[in-house]
């Protein structure tokens, strides 16, 4: 067991008790290390069975389960960000298909979130220190997700059903 593996669950529990610590870290990171506008890119990743990948994040104390993704580096293409973050966080290679949604994050000034439809290549998932767990779920009935992640899943289902009509949108998600 690595040092990161040993302490990530206690760290996640501590951050869930004091989510303001994460907010302070975000403010500091943006102010001193990021450009004027920050961009987060995430992927609605589907496997060959049509299941959606959800991950449990250490640094998301309010809603730990969500779609995988991360911060875009300076000069990086958003689609490259999704592929890089998926590789770094899960060890999965993905094909980034197309953009699904872009929004200005209401809770973070000067931040954009971008979401992409992705297809996972076959492989074994190996979680980074940023993640606690993962699940492949039925995309028509995912567990509760943050609003933007829920909107991305709906957009991904619509995009996929436009091509294959294989995953109708579950009414409870609307």
pLDDT digits (tens, 9 = 90+) for 74-106: 889 999 999 999 999 999 999 999 999 999 988
**Domain hosting residue 45, numbered range:** 3-137
Report the DSSP beta bridge partners of residue 43.
116
pLDDT surpasses 90 at 70: yes
Q: Is residue 22 a part of any domain in this protein?
A: yes
Q: Is residue 143 a part of any domain in this protein?
A: no
Q: Is residue 174 a part of any domain in this protein?
A: no
| Number of domains forming the structure of the chain | 1
The CATH number for 113's domain is 3.90.79.10
Token pair 């899960």 is at which residue? Answer: 90
Q: 110-146 pLDDT, tens per residue?
A: 889 999 999 999 999 999 999 999 999 999 999 999 9
SS3 category, 96 = strand
Q: Is residue 168 a part of any domain in this protein?
A: no
pTM: 0.75
Q: Is residue 167 a part of any domain in this protein?
A: no
Asked if 52 contacts 8 with a C-beta cutoff of 8 angstroms, the reply is no
Asked if 52 contacts 137 with a C-beta cutoff of 8 angstroms, the reply is yes
CB atoms near residue 92 (< 10 Å): 22
pLDDT surpasses 50 at 170: no
pLDDT category of residue 174 using cuts at 50, 70 and 90? very low
Q: Is residue 20 a part of any domain in this protein?
A: yes
Query: What Rg, from alpha-carbon coordinates, does the chain have?
Result: 16
Q: Is residue 154 a part of any domain in this protein?
A: no
Q: Cβ-count burial of 162 within 10 angstroms (0-12 exposed, 13-18 middle, 19+ buried)? A: exposed
Question: CA geometry: angle at 20 spanning 15 and 23, to 5°?
Answer: 100
Length of the chain: 174
Q: Is residue 80 a part of any domain in this protein?
A: yes
C-alpha 38/C-alpha 164 separation (Å) is: 34
């Amino acid at each position: 067991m690595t040092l990161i593996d040993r302490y990530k669950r206690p760290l996640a529990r501590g951050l869930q008790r004091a989510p303001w610590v994460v907010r302070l870290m975000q403010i500091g990171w943006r102010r001193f290390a990021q450009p004027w506008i920050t961009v987060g890119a995430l992927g609605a990743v589907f496997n060959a069975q049509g299941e959606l990948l959800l991950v449990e994040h250490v640094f998301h104390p309010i809603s730990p389960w969500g779609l995988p993704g991360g911060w875009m580096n300076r000069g990086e293409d958003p689609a490259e960000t999704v592929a890089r973050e998926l590789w770094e966080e899960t060890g999965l290679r993905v094909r980034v298909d197309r953009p699904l949604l872009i929004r200005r994050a209401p809770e973070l000034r000067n931040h954009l979130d971008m979401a992409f439809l992705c297809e996972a290549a076959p492989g074994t998932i190996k979680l980074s220190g940023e993640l606690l767990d993962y699940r492949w779920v039925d995309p028509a009935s995912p567990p509760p997700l943050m609003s933007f992640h829920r909107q991305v899943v709906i957009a991904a289902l619509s995009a996929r059903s436009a091509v294959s009509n294989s995953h109708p949108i579950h009414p409870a998600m609307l």
